[in-house]
Amino acid sequence: MIPIQLPTLPVMRGILSGLVVLYGLSLASTHTRQGFGIFVLTAGLQLVRELTPLSSHPVFFSLIEGVVLILLLLPMGRYSPDIRRHLLISLVAYLGLGIASGPGSALHQVLVFPGFQLSLLIIMHTRIRTERYQDRLHLSQMNQTLSLMNTTLRSMGTLLDGGKTGAELYGTILSGAVEHVYADAGILFLVEDGQQGILRVEQTRGRPPLLQEITPVGNSEGADYYRAEDLFPASAPYIQEAIQEGVTRWHVLPGQPKGCRVIGLSPLLVDQKVYGIIVLFQFRSSRIPRDHQRSQYNQYISHAGITLETVFSLWKAQELRLHTAEGDYIGQAQKHLLPKALPPAPGAEYEVLSRPARGVHSDYWDVFPGPQGNTAFLVSDIAGKGMLSTLTMTIIRGTANLIGGSERKAGEVVTWLNRAITRRLKLDRFANLVYLNLQPSLGTVECAGTSHQNMMIYRLETGSIETVTSDQPALGIDPGTEYLSTSVPVDSGDIILVYTDGVVESVNPQGIQYTSRNLARLLVEAHHYPVRAIRERIQEDLLRFEEGAGNHDDQTLVVIKVK
């Protein structure tokens, strides 16, 4: 019988370590830069252990390995419980193996260090896959939200062309809400004017249990009417709270109403008043939607309210068409798309000058508070006039409210806006746009835009004007355009000026344009004033220059002074 000779301990350890290194190489080939970094880290740690005096102190080195693992596990709060459990198993298995084999023993030397490497790779691999999965999931849900929002827009356009009724638009809005959070049933109530607490059932989807055991207080033109307090027990006045607060709420209701586990109530705001309420029901799950689902669903509900607001404004304006120019009543509808109040911007003061020309507007601006004290600003100039420009403005507003102010780079936001215009409704409309994200904690402003972006920065330290330019095409031309971000440092006292062509192309009676040179001169002269005074100085200078001729194009200007 031929004796079998087992390999020596160093050979066994080398074999196991080699297998782990091959795993690291596979990660490097799959995940490029991140995977290569993992491989270098593990291989470097192995070399340190084998080629330094630490190899004779396995306990000391095991402590170092444990610290590295713990540091890698610190950001685990970002992950779901399943992933956290997976990562902790790796750490516990490594530590348990080390304790069970006894520090310094042959088994410890053979198994523990390759086990450390493997644990390290599993942790990093899981983190990479999690981040990629979350990113793909977020993009998928954003696509779904944009698709539902644009379905609502198409319904609005068909309605205005006479091809749909208001009931069909309400049905499209409710169907989109049900689909967005995978609800099992839904009701769209309209709040009756002048009748406190009376709700009209406008649309239903599925078999909502809320109405099955309650007698309506009236019926008119085929629609049932209910008292809000009758729909839930007195101890759960959910609908009354939704009307008063005007914000979406989710509640877990085991067995109440019958068979329902979760209920969501979403007020539809028109002119800052609750016009209707969408009530959604979940029978199969007792979990409310996740944070990112709720966030995007809230954007959809906000967009639905804006769509209704636009339709009502146009309907109202059509009634006055015999007495008002066409541009005036469309312009009145477009006013509803602009912000009604300026949100605070940590780390900066800002003011907005908005001088629309008579009739249809073509400028759109907005401000989006973001995480970590960031504030995003958007200024756009849409080509053309009329209804299609209004729809383009509505698409930009809905998409920007979905992703504006997020952690995404400025270039990504502009790329999404371009896709929304070119792919969704395929409107033959172009838009020049500037999107910038002020990041006070980093001392930078990240911006992206088109070749006609108008942006200048006054530098307090040097007293000079710096212009920020772009060579990228207007939105609405090519859906495949990837817009790039530019990061510009800013210091306290610097002033950022973003404006549309209507400001610098303002013409006086002699046919002379105002030009960006005059704007820069005035900014240098007035830089020591508060932002409101700077905005007023610019407006007064424009009026003085025009000599009563008025502005023939919309004028929008945002003044941002860094604190």
Selection from 219-233, 321-335, 540-554 with the highest mean pLDDT: 540-554
* 101 band by pLDDT with thresholds 50, 70 and 90: very low
Does residue 444 belong to any structural domain of this protein?
yes
Domain end marker among 307, 336, 352: 307
- Pair (194, 102) in one structural domain: no
DSSP states of 463-498: TEEEE----PPPBTS-TT--PPPEEEE--TT-EEEE
Does residue 146 belong to any structural domain of this protein?
no
* Among 165, 206, 215, residue whose Cα is nearest residue 187: 206
- Pair (101, 39) in one structural domain: yes
| DSSP one-letter code for 75 | G
- Pair (381, 249) in one structural domain: no
Residue 35 has pLDDT above 50, yes or no: no
Does residue 218 belong to any structural domain of this protein?
yes
Q: Per residue in 414-451, is it b (16+ CB within 10 Å) or e — as a string?
A: bbbbbbbbbebbebebbbbbbbbbbbbeeeebbbbbbe
- Pair (287, 340) in one structural domain: no
The mean pLDDT value for 191-212 works out to 75
Order of strands, sheet of 249-252, starting from the edge strand that comes earlier in the sequence: 218-220, 223-227, 198-205, 185-191, 273-282, 262-270, 249-252
Give residue 58's pLDDT: 54
Residue 48 has pLDDT above 90, yes or no: no
Bridge pairing between strands 185-191 and 249-252? unpaired
Does residue 318 belong to any structural domain of this protein?
no
Residue 37 CA to residue 28 CA, distance in Å, equals 8
The mean pLDDT value for 372-394 works out to 79
Does residue 312 belong to any structural domain of this protein?
no
Residue 179 CA to residue 296 CA, distance in Å, equals 12
Q: Mean pLDDT check: name the lowest of 175-189, 329-343, 356-370, 465-479.
A: 329-343
* 465 band by pLDDT with thresholds 50, 70 and 90: very high
What is the overall mean pLDDT for the chain?
Answer: 73
- Pair (343, 294) in one structural domain: no
| DSSP one-letter code for 210 | G
Q: pLDDT tens digits for 526-550? A: 999 999 999 999 999 999 998 877 7
Q: What phi and psi values does residue 542 have, to the nearest 5 degrees? A: -65, -45
Residue 99 has pLDDT above 90, yes or no: no
Selection from 188-197, 224-233, 461-470 with the highest mean pLDDT: 461-470
Does residue 157 belong to any structural domain of this protein?
no
- Pair (183, 59) in one structural domain: no
Q: Rounded to whole angstroms, what are the CA distances from 183 to 165, 237, 459?
A: 25, 21, 53
Residue 308 CA to residue 111 CA, distance in Å, equals 66
Residue 134 has pLDDT above 80, yes or no: no
Q: What phi and psi values does residue 58 have, to the nearest 5 degrees? A: -60, -35
Residue 86: strand, helix, or coil: helix
- Pair (212, 250) in one structural domain: yes
The mean pLDDT value for 242-255 works out to 82
Top-confidence residue, 366 or 307:
366
- Pair (435, 543) in one structural domain: yes
Can you give the three-state secondary structure of 56-70, one letter per residue? HCHHHHHHHHHHHHH
Give residue 193's pLDDT: 60
Q: Rounded to whole angstroms, what are the CA distances from 538 to 24, 348, 452, 503, 523?
A: 60, 19, 21, 10, 8
- Look at the block and give the residue holding tokens 């691999």: 125
Residue 184 has pLDDT above 80, yes or no: yes
Q: What phi and psi values does residue 506 have, to the nearest 5 degrees? A: -60, 135
Residue 153 has pLDDT above 80, yes or no: no
Q: Mean pLDDT check: name the lowest of 285-294, 467-476, 511-520.
A: 285-294
Q: State the residue range of the domain holding 70.
A: 9-135
Residue 404 CA to residue 396 CA, distance in Å, equals 10
Top-confidence residue, 502 or 164:
502
Q: Which residues contact 433 (CB under 8 A, 6 or more apart)?
A: 378, 379, 380, 381, 396, 414, 417, 449, 450, 453, 475
Cβ neighbours, 10 Å, residue 372 = 10
- Pair (382, 516) in one structural domain: yes
Does residue 152 belong to any structural domain of this protein?
no
- Pair (128, 226) in one structural domain: no
Our measurement of the distance from residue 427's CA atom to the centroid of its chain's CA atoms, rounded to an integer in Å, reads 23
Domain end marker among 135, 157, 188: 135
Task: Find the farthest-apart pair of alpha carbons in the chain and give their distance in angstroms, rounded.
Answer: 112
Task: Provide the CATH number for the domain around residue 171.
Answer: 3.30.450.40
Give residue 306's pLDDT: 78
Give residue 392's pLDDT: 77
For residue 201, list its beta bridge partners: 189
Does residue 156 belong to any structural domain of this protein?
no
| DSSP one-letter code for 507 | B
Tokens describing residue 509: 């009676």
| DSSP one-letter code for 447 | E
Can you give the three-state secondary structure of 324-338, one letter per residue? CCHHHHHHHHHHCCC
Cis peptide, bond prior to residue 257, ω within 30 of zero: yes
Q: Mean pLDDT check: name the lowest of 50-64, 220-234, 341-355.
A: 50-64
Domain count, the chain: 3
- Pair (60, 177) in one structural domain: no
Tokens describing residue 287: 């979990």
Cβ neighbours, 10 Å, residue 396 = 25
Residue 341's Cβ-count burial label (10 Å; 0-12, 13-18, 19+) is: exposed
Percent of the chain at pLDDT > 70 equals 58
Task: Provide the CATH number for the domain around residue 434.
Answer: 3.60.40.10
Whole-structure pTM value:
0.54
Domain end marker among 307, 339, 357: 307
First to last CA, the chain: 86
Q: Mean pLDDT check: name the lowest of 436-440, 495-499, 547-551.
A: 547-551
- Pair (466, 366) in one structural domain: yes
